[in-house]
Structure 1
Amino acid sequence: MENHPGLGVAKFADANGHMPKPDRVSNRFKFYVRKAKLSDREELSFHSCHHTTGSWLSMQGVPLRVISEILEHSNTQVTEMYSHLSPEVMDRAMEETFGGE
C-alpha cells in the first residue's frame, strides 16, 4: 500500500507498485467475504468499506469537508450520502444537547 499525496489515504498496490484493476480488488474482497461466511455476505462489497469509512469518520465528528477529501468526492453533497450515523451516536447527541429523562 502507498499513501495518497497530501491525504495519507492508503491505496493498494501490487508487488511491482502498480494499482490493481478495480474488478480484481472487488472480486478478491467478495471471495473472502463469502469464505468468511458472513450473514450479510451477498450485500457486502469492497465499496461497503468506503461507506463504513465515511460513517465512522462522521461519527467521530470529523468535518464533512475533511471526509469528502479523504473519500476523494467531488463535493460534500456526495459525502453526505456516506455519513450514516448509528442510533447510539444520535441518542448521545440528543442526550448531550437536551439532557436525559
Structure 2
Amino acid sequence: MYEKEIRDAVFTDRNEKGIRPGRVTKRFEKMARKADLGERIYFHSLRHTTGSWLAVQGVPMQHIQPILSHSDSTVTEKYSHLAPKTHDRAMEETFGE
C-alpha cells in the first residue's frame, strides 16, 4: 500500500487520491506499445517534449526551469539551442538593427 500522501497530484485514482509515479509510467508504456509507438518512447519523453516546445516558442529559460522542476538552470539550458531566434530577437529589441 502506498501511504505517502501526494499533494496536488496530476494523476489520481477514482477517489481523487494521488497515485505512484511508477504506476503512471507503467500505464503509459502499456498504452505506447498498444499504439505501436515503439520501444524508445517513455513517459519521461513527454517532459523533454514540453521543454523543447516551450523553447521553440521562445519561452525564456528562466520560465521553463520551474515548469520542468529543474533545480539547476544548467539542466534547462540544454533546450536553448532550440531557440536561436529568441536570442536574435532579444538583441534586436535591445540594440536595434
Judge same fold: TM > 0.5, yes or no.
yes
Identity, % of aligned pairs? Answer: 50
Could you say which structure has the larger radius of gyration? 2
* Aligned counterpart for 1:74 among listed residues 57, 71, 75: 71
Q: TM-score, normalised by structure 2?
A: 0.70
- 1:35 matched to 2:30? The reply is no
In the superposition, the TM-score normalised over structure 1's length comes to 0.67
2:48 matched to 1:17? no
3-state DSSP of counterpart to 2:41: coil
- C-alpha separation in 2, matches of 1:33 and 1:84: 28
- Deviations along 1:8-65, whole A, 9 cap, x unmatched? xx82222222221111100000000000012xx2111000000000000000000001
* Alignment: residue pair count: 80
Q: CA RMSD in A?
A: 2.3
Q: 1:18 to 1:60 in 2, by over 3 A?
A: same
5+ residue gaps, structure 2, are: 1-7, 90-97
* Greater relative contact order, per chain length (Cα 8 Å cut-off, separation 6+): 1
Stretches of 4+ moved more than 6 A in 1? Answer: none
- Structure with the largest fraction of helix: 2
**Quick one: structure 1 residues 84 and 23, their matched pair in 2 at CA, closer, same or farther if it must change by over 3 Å?**
farther
2:55 matched residue in structure 1: 58
Q: Which runs of 5+ in 1 are unaligned?
A: 5-9
Give me the whole-angstrom Cα distance separating, in 1, the residues matched to 2:42 and 2:78: 17
What is the match of residue 46 of structure 1?
43
